[in-house]
Amino acid sequence: MSWYCGDRSCPTHSSPEHQCPNWRLAQLKSAVGTKASNQRQDVRIVQGALNRLIGPAASDRFATEGVFTQELDAAIKKFQRIGLGLPSQDGRVDPGGRTWRGLSDALNFKRIIVSVTDQWLEALDDGRRVFSFPCVSGDGAHPTNKGTFRIQRKQHPYRSKAYDVDMNYAMFFTADGKAIHQYHGIAGLDAVRFMRHNVSDWFGSHGCVRLEETNARKLYNWAAIGTQIYVY
- State yes or no: pLDDT of 18 exceeds 70: no
Q: Domain span at residue 201?
A: 110-231
Q: What is the pLDDT of residue 188?
A: 80
Taking the C-alpha atoms of residue 76 and residue 47, their distance in angstroms, rounded to an integer, is 9
Q: Which of 12-21, 45-54, 141-150 has the highest mean pLDDT?
A: 141-150
pLDDT tens column, 146-168 = 988 999 999 999 998 888 889 99
Calculate helix-pair angle for 40-54, 98-106, nearest 10 degrees. 40
Q: Are 39 and 45 in contact (CB under 8 A)?
A: no
- Separation of alpha carbons 20 and 12, rounded Å: 8
Choose one of 71, 106, 141: the last residue of a domain: 106
Question: Are residue 102 and residue 134 in the same domain, yes or no?
Answer: no
Q: Does one domain contain both 63 and 138? A: no
At 98, the amino acid letter reads: R
- What is the total count of domains within the chain? 2
Altogether, the residues listed in the chain come to a count of 232
Select from 50, 71, 106 the last residue of a domain: 106
pLDDT digits (tens, 9 = 90+) for 61-73: 787 788 999 999 9
Are 211 and 131 in the same domain?
Answer: yes
**DSSP characters over 30-76:** S-EETTS---HHHHHHHHHHHHHHH-TT-TTPPP-S----HHHHHHH
Helices (H), the chain: 40-54, 70-78, 98-106, 189-198, 213-222
Which of 106, 137, 153 is at the close of a domain?
106
* Domain CATH for 206: 2.40.440.10
> Does residue 91 sit in the same domain as residue 114?
no
Residues 9 and 22 reside in one and the same domain: yes
Compute the distance between CA of residue 224 and CA of residue 222 in angstroms, rounded to an integer. 7
* Claim to verify: residue 152 and residue 220 sit in the same structural domain: yes
- 0.85 surpassed by pTM: no
